């Protein structure tokens, strides 16, 4: 906790110096003062980031567009209440994580019913050039990540793919640093079980 | 090393997955439109839901309150009263009614089976949610256990501080100067990484300086 608080104090001090964070605060302030174009700017600046994060959190599948819409709808409705306790980026990340959780909960029931009815959807093939990775490896890694419990997948995506330090991951998820460490270590153990040969390669 | 390899594997997989979705230029206006639409739906749907609930309740009330239609077996007409009018006998149940009843029974059985399946899934989901909640609680409890390394560091600091405090007391109040100097030296030897080692060092330098001054 002390390290998270210390991290927050350092971030606040850094925010006074960093121009990007000042811009973020100004956007929120402008919106509160009634400047509607601030929301457009936020959407334009963060649309790519939110879409990418959603795609990863849903295990490179799922209804990314729907979730992105839900995220920005929540931002639109709650931007007036944003007080700058954390950065806009952290706030958006937290909203995205929550919306992905809601989507997973809603679709878990649907997926189970489809499975019972024997009408499970086939996984979509990778979209990019297959020279980066072959299809089988991609499918294995994706299935492994999708098979992780949601809260393990979140810490893996935020720490390894979004390259957030653990203190920031803890802040986004509203957890203590120890809990994030424990979840990361368990997620790594599970992935190593399934993909040991790929990791060694 | 394994962690770096895992990170590389995830990053490569992420690159192989390609971009999420193409960015939309009109997303902001879509969001505003969606917000207006949902607010309108919320305003309209509440009274509609209330009305539908009332109608359903009334429908159930009337359906269960209706008396069942009893198809009475017609009385046999005595032959002497039957005139030769050629009127055929009335059957007890018509083929259409039987078929309808059979269809309704089948539909009911199917509905029951579907409802049971869905209830099973709901029960499984709830059990899973309870399990997740329990796991989260256990993780919180685990996180509440203090870091042993941190605890050891704190105790080392505490021990060093106590030693420095007593050494200082010996030197200034109890006039046990030699013993105090030995204690300060022990702090530096035993707890070199703590800040109290620096304090002890400063105290020793002060003592040496005072002694030099006294000699001069």
* Residue B88 maps to a domain: no
Instruction: Please tell me the predicted confidence (pLDDT) of residue A8.
Output: 38
Same domain? For B138 and B171 the reply is no
* Residue B107 maps to a domain: yes
Within chain B, what is the greatest distance between any pair of CA atoms? 157
Alpha carbons A2 and A10: distance in angstroms, whole number? 12
Same domain? For B161 and B207 the reply is yes
Instruction: Please tell me the predicted confidence (pLDDT) of residue B163.
Output: 93
What would the CATH number be for the domain defined by A10-121?
1.10.1740.10
CA distances from B205 to B177, B194, B198, B202 (A): 14, 18, 11, 5
Residues of A in contact with B35 (CB under 8 A): 73, 76-77
Higher pLDDT, B124 or A10: B124
Same domain? For B166 and B211 the reply is yes
Residue A133 gets which letter from DSSP?
Answer: S
Closest CB from B13, B27, B31 relative to A133: B13
pLDDT bucket at A98, cuts 50 / 70 / 90:
very high
**Burial (0-12, 13-18, 19+ Cβ within 10 Å), B200:** buried
Which residues touch A130 (CB under 8 Å, ≥6 apart)?
B16
Same domain? For B158 and B139 the reply is no
Mean pLDDT score of chain A, rounded to an integer?
78
CB B188 within 8 A of CB B199: no
| pLDDT averages per 10-residue partition of chain B, 216 residues | 79 82 83 88 80 82 62 58 55 69 86 87 88 85 78 89 92 91 94 91 90 75
CATH of A123-201, one of 3.90.1150.10, 1.10.1670.40, 1.10.10.10, 3.90.110.10: 1.10.10.10
* Residue B118 maps to a domain: yes
* Residue B137 maps to a domain: yes
Which residues touch B75 (CB under 8 Å, ≥6 apart)?
none
- Residue A43 tokens read as 């959407």
CATH 1.10.1740.10 residue ranges of chain A are: 10-121
Percentage of chain A exceeding pLDDT 70: 75
B23 at interface of A, judged by CB pairs closer than 8 A: yes
Average the pLDDT over each of A3-12, A39-48, A108-117, B201-210 and give the range with the smallest value.
Answer: A3-12
Higher pLDDT, B146 or A99: A99
Taking an 8 Å cut-off on Cβ atoms, the answer to whether A182 and B124 are in contact is no
Instruction: Please tell me the predicted confidence (pLDDT) of residue A62.
Output: 78
Q: Is the confidence at residue A93, as pLDDT, over 90?
A: yes
Instruction: Please tell me the predicted confidence (pLDDT) of residue B78.
Output: 60
Mean per-residue pLDDT, A69-95: 87
Minimal C-alpha gap between A174 and chain B (Å)? 12
CB A89 within 8 A of CB A169: no
Q: How many structural domains is chain B composed of?
A: 2
* Residue B51 maps to a domain: no
CA distances from A155 to A7, A91, A158 (A): 18, 16, 5
Domain extent, residue B123, equals 96-145
CB B171 within 8 A of CB B204: no
Contacts of the segment B53-61: beta carbons below 8 A, 24+ positions apart: none
pLDDT tens string A125-178: 545 444 557 788 888 888 888 888 888 999 999 999 888 999 999 999 999 989
pLDDT bucket at A63, cuts 50 / 70 / 90:
confident
Same domain? For B133 and B155 the reply is no
Q: Is the confidence at residue A15, as pLDDT, over 60?
A: no
* Domain boundary, last residue among B145, B162, B181: B145
Size of interface A-B (CB pairs under 8 A): 123
Instruction: Please tell me the predicted confidence (pLDDT) of residue B65.
Output: 61
- Residue B47 tokens read as 């009274």
Taking an 8 Å cut-off on Cβ atoms, the answer to whether B11 and A160 are in contact is yes
Minimal C-alpha gap between A74 and chain B (Å)? 9
């Amino acid at each position: 906790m002390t390290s998270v608080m210390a991290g927050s104090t350092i971030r606040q001090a850094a925010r006074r110096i960093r121009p990007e964070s000042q811009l973020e605060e100004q956007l929120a302030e402008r919106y509160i003062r009634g400047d509607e174009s601030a929301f457009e700017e936020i959407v334009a600046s963060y649309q790519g980031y939110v879409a990418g994060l959603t795609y990863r959190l849903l295990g490179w599948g799922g209804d990314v567009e729907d979730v992105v819409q839900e995220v920005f709808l929540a931002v639109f409705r709650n931007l007036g209440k944003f007080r700058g306790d954390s950065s806009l980026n952290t706030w958006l990340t937290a909203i995205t994580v929550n919306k992905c959780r809601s989507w997973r909960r809603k679709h878990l029931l649907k997926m189970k019913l489809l499975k019972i009815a024997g009408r499970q959807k086939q996984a979509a093939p990778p979209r990019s050039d297959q020279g980066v990775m072959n299809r089988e490896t991609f499918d294995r890694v994706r299935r492994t990540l999708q098979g992780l419990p949601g809260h393990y997948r979140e810490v893996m995506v935020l720490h390894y793919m979004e390259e957030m330090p653990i203190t920031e991951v803890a802040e986004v998820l509203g957890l203590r640093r120890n809990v994030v460490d424990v979840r990361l270590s368990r997620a790594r153990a599970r992935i190593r079980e399934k993909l040991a040969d790929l990791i060694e390669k | 090393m394994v962690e770096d390899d895992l990170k590389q594997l995830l990053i490569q997989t992420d690159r192989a997955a390609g971009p999420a979705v193409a960015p939309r230029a009109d997303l902001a206006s879509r969001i505003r439109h969606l917000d207006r639409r949902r607010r309108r739906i919320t305003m309209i749907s509440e009274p509609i839901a209330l009305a539908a609930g009332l109608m359903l309740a009334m429908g159930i009330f009337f359906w269960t309150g209706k008396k069942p239609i009893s198809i009475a077996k017609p009385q046999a007409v005595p032959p002497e009263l039957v005139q030769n009018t050629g009127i055929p006998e009335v059957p007890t149940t018509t083929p259409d009614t039987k078929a309808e009843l059979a269809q309704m029974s089948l539909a009911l059985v199917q509905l029951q089976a579907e409802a049971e399946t869905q209830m099973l899934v709901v029960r499984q989901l709830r059990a899973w949610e309870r399990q997740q909640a329990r796991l989260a609680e256990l993780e919180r409890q685990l996180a509440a256990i203090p870091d042993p390394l941190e605890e050891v560091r704190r105790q080392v600091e505490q021990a060093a501080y106590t030693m420095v405090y007593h050494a200082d007391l010996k030197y200034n109040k109890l006039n046990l100067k030699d013993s105090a100097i030995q204690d300060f030296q022990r702090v530096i030897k035993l707890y070199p990484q703590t800040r109290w080692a620096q304090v002890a060092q400063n105290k020793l330098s002060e003592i040496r300086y005072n002694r030099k001054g006294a000699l001069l």
